[in-house]
Amino acid sequence: MEPVTDRELLDRLCSRDSRAFELLYQRYKVALFRFCLGILKDQHRAEDAVHETFLKLFRRSDTLEDRTSCRAWLFRVARNECLMVIRRERHSALVDGEDVWEENTPLTILVGQQTQESISKALDALKVEYREVILLRENERLSYTAIAAITDSTQSAVKSRLFKARRALASALAPLLEERIKE
């Protein structure tokens, strides 16, 4: 049996084919959840964001102009859902500044932690606009073009954020690496 494309599933979904919706859900739920969890750092809020994303897909599938970019559309909607959650919690808009860290630096987080846990916490400490590009590029293996479309920015902005995030992570994880070399 030949795999069904996203475009075919979206065409069927516009005709309210519930099986098409179920197939799209099964195809993207794990990746979207992983992405939302990486941004929100909370399982329940991530599940809610994914749920809202799929509700919007069901309600708005007929308004998608380019049916070949379903994956990018879903990630963009999921990103927006996550940002809305963050905005509601902070009661203010995110500020785009040069500082890539939220409150704690990874250096203070790294003390006494295991390598994987330290990397995870360092990622969590990044501001959301830096964390999301790392997650989309490294975990989802998306192109710069796709990430730019999802984050509603330019490819050069995506590259810049990736560079800053990677540099900040390398700097934060340097003490851990030095400690490992000494061992």
Q: What is the pLDDT of residues 154-175, one digit of tens each?
A: 999 999 999 999 999 988 888 8
Asked if 61 and 13 count as a contact pair (C-beta separation under 8 A), the reply is: yes
Return the SS3 of 126.
strand
pLDDT in tens, 101-157: 566 555 545 444 467 777 888 889 999 999 999 999 988 889 999 999 999 999 999
| Domain topology for 1-93 | Rna Polymerase Sigma Factor; Chain: A (1.10.1740)
Q: How far is C-alpha 16 from the chain's CA centre?
A: 28
> Nearest 5 degrees, angle CA 165-CA 147-CA 102?
30
Confidence at residue 100, expressed as pLDDT on a 0 to 100 scale? 63
Spell out the domain ranges in the chain: 1-93, 95-183
- Which has the closest alpha carbon to 82: 113, 45, 112, 107? 45
CATH number attached to the domain at 95-183: 1.10.10.10
Two structure tokens written together for 156: 């050069």
